[in-house]
Structure 1
Amino acid sequence: MIGNRITSRMADGVRVPGTWRHAFIRNGDYHLTDLFIYADGLIDCWGLVTLEEFEEKLRSGWVATELPEGARASAFELARWKFTEPRTWLTPEFLIAEIRDTIDQLNKRPDSTDRCLAAVDVFLADRTEENREAAREAYFAIPETQRHYALGDMDHKDWPLQILVAGPGGRGDRRPDEEITQEDYDWALSYFEERAEWRAKAPSRVPADGPATGVAPAIHLYESRPLKPSDDPGTRALRNEYPAPVDVDGVTYPTVAHAYWALSVADPALREEIATADNTFHARNLAAGAERSEDWERRRTAVMASLLRAKFTRHPSPARALLDTGDATILYDDSDSAFWGDRDGRGRNWTGRLLELVRSELACPIPSRPA
Structure 2
Amino acid sequence: MIRKTRLVHREADGRRIPGTWRHAFINNGGRYFLTDLFIYADGIVDAWEPVTLEEFEQKLASGWVATELPEGGRASGHHLAEWTFGTPRTWHTAEQLLAEVRDTVDELNGRPDSTDRCLAAVDRFMADRTEANRLAVRETYYAIPETVRHYALGDMDLKDWPLRILAAGPGGTDEVAEEEVGREDYEEAIAYFADGAGWGPAAGPAADACPPSLHVPHCFPAASDTPDKTALRNTYPAPIVYEGTVHPTVVHAYWALSTLDPAARAAITAADSPFTAKRLGEEAVRHGDWERTRTAVLGRLLLAKFTQHPELAAVLLATGTAAILYDDMDDPFWGDNGGRGRNWMGRLLELTRAELPAPAGPEPVRRAPAGR
Q: Name the TM-score class by shorter chain.
A: 0.5 to 0.7
Determine helix, strand or coil for the equivalent of 2:176: coil
1:190 matched to 2:191:
yes
Query: Which residue in the other structure is 1:13 paired with?
Result: 14
Query: Which residue in the other structure is 1:48 paired with?
Result: 50
* Structure 1 segments (4+ residues) deviating >3 Å: 197-200, 211-215
Segments of structure 2 that go 5 or more residues without pairing to the other structure are: 210-338, 341-372
Choose from 105, 108, 111 the match for 1:109.
111
Query: Which residue in the other structure is 1:83 paired with?
Result: 85
Q: 1:213 Cα deviation (Å)? A: 8.4
Query: Which residue in the other structure is 2:73 paired with?
Result: 71
Q: 1:23 Cα deviation (Å)? A: 0.3
Query: Which residue in the other structure is 2:40 paired with?
Result: 38
1:2 matched to 2:2:
yes
How far, CA to CA, are the matches of 1:45 and 1:214 in structure 2?
25
Aligned partner letter, 1:189: I
Query: Which residue in the other structure is 2:122 paired with?
Result: 120
Shift of the 90–163 alpha-carbon distance from structure 1 to 2, 3 Å rule, reads same
How far, CA to CA, are the matches of 2:96 and 2:75 in structure 1?
22
Q: 1:87 Cα deviation (Å)? A: 0.1
Query: Which residue in the other structure is 1:351 paired with?
Result: none
TM-score by length of 2: 0.53
How far, CA to CA, are the matches of 1:115 and 1:89 in structure 2?
23
Q: 1:173 Cα deviation (Å)? A: 2.5
Shift of the 205–170 alpha-carbon distance from structure 1 to 2, 3 Å rule, reads closer
How far, CA to CA, are the matches of 1:5 and 1:130 in structure 2?
39
Contact 2:110 2:208 in 1 (8 A): no
Q: 1:67 Cα deviation (Å)? A: 0.2
Shift of the 136–92 alpha-carbon distance from structure 1 to 2, 3 Å rule, reads same
1:145 matched to 2:147:
yes
| Percent identity between the two aligned chains | 65
Deviation readout 1:5-53 (Å, 9 max, x if unpaired): 1100001111100000000000020000000000000011111110101
Query: Which residue in the other structure is 1:157 paired with?
Result: 159
Q: 1:212 Cα deviation (Å)? A: 9.1
Q: 1:134 Cα deviation (Å)? A: 0.8
Deviation readout 1:273-311 (Å, 9 max, x if unpaired): xxxxxxxxxxxxxxxxxxxxxxxxxxxxxxxxxxxxxxx
Contact 1:9 1:17 in 2 (8 A): yes
Deviation readout 1:196-228 (Å, 9 max, x if unpaired): 24579x9x978xxxx89899xxxxxxxxxxxxx
Higher radius of gyration, 1 or 2:
1
How far, CA to CA, are the matches of 2:7 and 2:131 in structure 1?
41
How far, CA to CA, are the matches of 1:173 and 1:65 in structure 2?
23
How far, CA to CA, are the matches of 1:214 and 1:69 in structure 2?
44
Aligned partner letter, 2:148: Q
Segments of structure 1 that go 5 or more residues without pairing to the other structure are: 216-343, 346-371
Contact 2:37 2:45 in 1 (8 A): yes
Number of aligned positions between the proteins: 209
Query: Which residue in the other structure is 1:335 paired with?
Result: none
* 1:1-371 matched pairs, under 5 angstroms: 1-3=1-3, 4-28=5-29, 29-176=31-178, 178-194=179-195, 196-197=196-197
How far, CA to CA, are the matches of 2:159 and 2:84 in structure 1?
34
Aligned partner letter, 2:161: W
Aligned partner letter, 1:24: F
Determine helix, strand or coil for the equivalent of 2:119: helix
How far, CA to CA, are the matches of 1:56 and 1:73 in structure 2?
22
Determine helix, strand or coil for the equivalent of 1:97: helix
Q: 1:174 Cα deviation (Å)? A: 2.8
Contact 1:170 1:179 in 2 (8 A): yes
How far, CA to CA, are the matches of 1:126 and 1:96 in structure 2?
33
Determine helix, strand or coil for the equivalent of 1:103: helix
How far, CA to CA, are the matches of 2:125 and 2:153 in structure 1?
16
TM-score by length of 1: 0.53
Contact 1:159 1:174 in 2 (8 A): no
Q: 1:101 Cα deviation (Å)? A: 0.2
Q: 1:115 Cα deviation (Å)? A: 0.1
